[in-house]
Chain A
Amino acid sequence: MSLRRPAKNQPETFEFSSSSMKEANKIVLKYPEGKQQSAVMALLYIAQKQNDNWIPLAAMKYIAKFLKMPYIKVYEVATFYTMYNLSPVGKYFVQVCTTTPCMIRGANKLVEACKEKISNKENELSNDKSCSWMEVECLGACVNAPMMQINDNYYEDLDKEKTIEIFDKILKGEDPKPGSYRGRLNTEPENNRKTLMDVKNA
């Protein structure tokens, strides 16, 4: 990982849409008078959602003005947290978990699939500009390793073939089914359960 820099091509302006504004105001209200700056992370997330999953500099400035705080403070927060994207990502934004449990279960195969299907490099848009991918740290679904996240959905129990299938679908613009790809319900064991047999409703 290296320092993430804001994208070269930046939009001139940014403004909250009416729905974002409503959401933002709701969050700002949670904080006592004079402590509104605490809302900065939530507001950055709202801005990211509104702006195709990335935060332009104009949005940071807008939020700084919105919360009456110095630009650099918003900039600091946005560059600190890796889940804020500072440059454009694809419409389908693939995050592959490569932390230990997933890595042991073959996450590198998923990365290979990404390189073959989407783009050779991390954080680069695919040829049709619809997808981009990046490696991320643990997404908290270790039981179903290896896994990846596409936008808001988790795709679990993957291997290279299944990943490629999913990518084929999203590249065609379809939305593949989220969840386990080995037929598991949530995080249940694969062939019936093996523990807590005597507990009825476990």
Chain B
Amino acid sequence: MPKLKVNDIEVEVEDGLTVLQACEKAGAEIPRFCYHEKLSIAGNCRMCLVEMEKSPKPIASCAMPAAEGMNIKTNTPFVEKARKGVMEFLLANHPLDCPVCDQGGECDLQDQSMFYGVDKSRFKENKRAVPEKHMGPLIKTQMTRCIHCTRCVRFATEVAGVSELGAIGRGEDMQVTTYLEQSMQSELSANVIDLCPVGALTSKPYVFEARPWELKKTETVDVMDAVGSNVRVDTYDWEVKRVLPIINEDINEEWISDKSRYACDGLLYQRLDTPFIKYNGKFEKASWSEVFKIIKSKFENSSKDKVCGFVGDLTNMETGYIFKEFFDRTLNNINYESRSDNRFLDNSERENYIFNSYINGIEDSDLIFLIGANPRYEATILNARIRKAFVNNNTKVISVNDVGDLTYPYKNLDGQTQTIKTIFEGSEEISKEIISATKPMIIIGESLLKLNSSEQLFNLIKNFLKKNNKFTEDWNPLNLLSCDAATVGNFDLGILNNEKNLLEELKSNKFEIVYLVGQDNLEFNKKGEFVIYQGSHGDKGAEIADIILPGSAYTEQDGYFTNLEGKVQKAYKASYPPGEAKEDWQIINELAEVMNNRKLFNDKEELESSMFNYLKLQQEKQITKNKGQKISDFQNEKLDMQIKDYYFSNVIARSSKTMIECNNSKLNIRLTGTEG
């Protein structure tokens, strides 16, 4: 642990840290452009120059390892002069277009030139002009503004794992570009926009939309996948203008996927903003009291076991809970379900449906075995973590299926369930590898759970791991990769029915009333059922509905979400529901009031505390596993990867124009075959 002095303050830092990190520890802020904590060190912007005793020249603090006895000065005239010199060079070719630049107001170069910039330029020559580059539908380029920090190049190579960005040419003619200007083939590509310290890479869908100081910023969580990335939602009045990542080292580090970032324009289109009733196949606007009256009479005129309810993939936990309470207490019925397919779930223990090793645990793992999972599309941020583990520790990854490029190499097997069976019966080479690994991770995707023999396989895997003592106090190797934000929350709340197969009954048209809350993924032929759809977007669910109750999207109401690891996080209200739409829990509460003259909960707080009490009780008591289901004999089958279309996986994404463009850009690449 070297000790050094920074501005006469003594600091002791860990081995391998740089002078810049030591300075930060001593409280001295160092300006920088190219240095970024999560990326490798480049040392090419020279903005972080500091004075070191006995060194005749200033040193680049980001690239200099901290050593014993160094005496660093960061606030001398010498340092200031050096940094001013660097800034003058950086500005020599930088255009003066801040008034029309989208980065204005949150630009590192702008901020730092307030301290180190000189008011006039000695550069009399013509400024360099660089043609715009094409980098896909998300990234707008204005390469004249580029200061060659190469953060984007390093991000693409190191974190995203797509070596498609590079710096071509040299010296003044250096240009950052993709290979032959093809769009970037990564689901993390838009993070380069946040990384760019100037306005060279800006957001294409957000171009000229707003200035950062006009926006209301709300820190919340993302619901595009089950990872629960921490995001900041920027709103201008009602409109969600953009979504940015915020740092959470345990979940998303500093990145978010392109879908999390850009599906937000889906919040503006296809919205349900007033209650509708279907008369003769046509939707007509109605008032809340009207629709509640109709629903009440419908409920009263049908027997209670002819009513069923389904909760969707983006529903927050309060809504799920009050929906369940509505069925339990108002309708006296347990016909509710959150699964939209026949996936196997043994909810007797919580570990059977969450990601037990935690996302952070990926970096400690020494063997990752993917069974029916494609983390690149099902949980992009989690995939970036696996790549990080591969880059840092050379973690071995095995997948049962060939799932295409995962941005790291992996060994793929033949995709037959027989293979999985033999492995977990312990007779294969891979079985031995799993046994000898100290912290193996078995990542089970939803595709496996949808198989006929999913129960046998799941139990086989779990028993194998138990038998070989892979469950220890600080390690749980069993990981379920959920795809949707609401999945784990719904399971925690017990919104499922293992006694009856509601989906089969729905398909055979046994119900008279179907109540859908944000559920758009059901496939059944409607035959005279009365369908109530409550949700935010006019999608498949609303299409078949007889009554539409306009609800809110995740940015328009406070609500809890449990991510795939089982972490409960709150999404905060950033905007408000459009038109006459209401928050989802309110709708159900008011409906209950209409039905029984009594609200289920007096206010949101009562609902929340009741919900958390319920969750606590659930975790304490072991649910007795329902043995009623008949276990069929094992049969070999092909493990089909059932990946939803990445860019259209939920209602918000399906309504987003940006997501359509992203999808089309991938299609074009596929059609022309120029990807290599």
Binding site for B on A (CB under 8 A): 1-4, 57, 61, 69-73, 75-76, 79-80
Contact = CB atoms under 8 A, between A and B. Distances in A.
30 contacts: A1-B173, A3-B168, A3-B173, A4-B169, A57-B180, A61-B676, A69-B163, A70-B157, A70-B164, A70-B179, A71-B676, A72-B163, A72-B164, A72-B165, A72-B166, A72-B178, A72-B179, A73-B166, A75-B166, A75-B168, A75-B179, A75-B180, A76-B166, A76-B167, A76-B168, A79-B169, A79-B170, A80-B168, A80-B169, A80-B170
B257 interface: no
B399 interface: no
Contact of B179 (A2, A3, A4, A71): A71
The secondary structure that dominates the B interface is mixed
A3 B164 CA distance: 19
Contacts of A69: 163
Nearest to B179: A72
Nearest to A82: B170
Interface in B156-200: 157, 163-170, 173, 175, 178-180
Nearest to B165: A72
A61 B169 CA distance: 18
Contact of A73 (B163, B175, B180): B163
A2 B173 contact: yes
A76 B179 CA distance: 9
Contacts, number: 38
Contacts of B166: 70, 72-73, 75-76
Nearest to A71: B179
B384 to A, nearest CB: 18
Closest 9 CB pairs of A and B: A70-B163, A72-B166, A3-B173, A79-B168, A72-B179, A3-B169, A76-B166, A71-B179, A80-B170
Nearest to B156: A72
Contacts of A3: 168-169, 173, 175
Contacts of A76: 166-168
A99 to B, nearest CB: 16
B368 to A, nearest CB: 22
Contacts of A1: 173
A4 B173 CA distance: 9
Contacts of A57: 180
Contacts of B180: 57, 75
Interface string B647-676: 000000000000000000000000000001
Contacts of B165: 72
Contacts of B178: 72
Contacts of A70: 157, 163-164, 166, 179
A61 B180 CA distance: 12
Contacts of B173: 1-3
A17 to B, nearest CB: 23
Contacts of A79: 168-170
A71 B178 CA distance: 10
Contacts of B175: 3
Contacts of B157: 70
B42 to A, nearest CB: 14
Nearest to A4: B169
Contacts of B169: 3-4, 79-80
Contacts of A80: 168-170
Contacts of B179: 70-72, 75
Contacts of B168: 3, 75-76, 79-80
B192 to A, nearest CB: 14
Contacts of B676: 61, 71
A68 B179 CA distance: 16
Contacts of B163: 69-70, 72-73
Contacts of A71: 179, 676
B379 to A, nearest CB: 25
A7 to B, nearest CB: 13
Given A61-B676, A76-B168, 4 more contacts: A3-B168, A71-B676, A72-B166, A72-B178
Nearest to B170: A80
B604 to A, nearest CB: 52
Nearest to B175: A3
Nearest to B178: A72
A79 B170 CA distance: 8
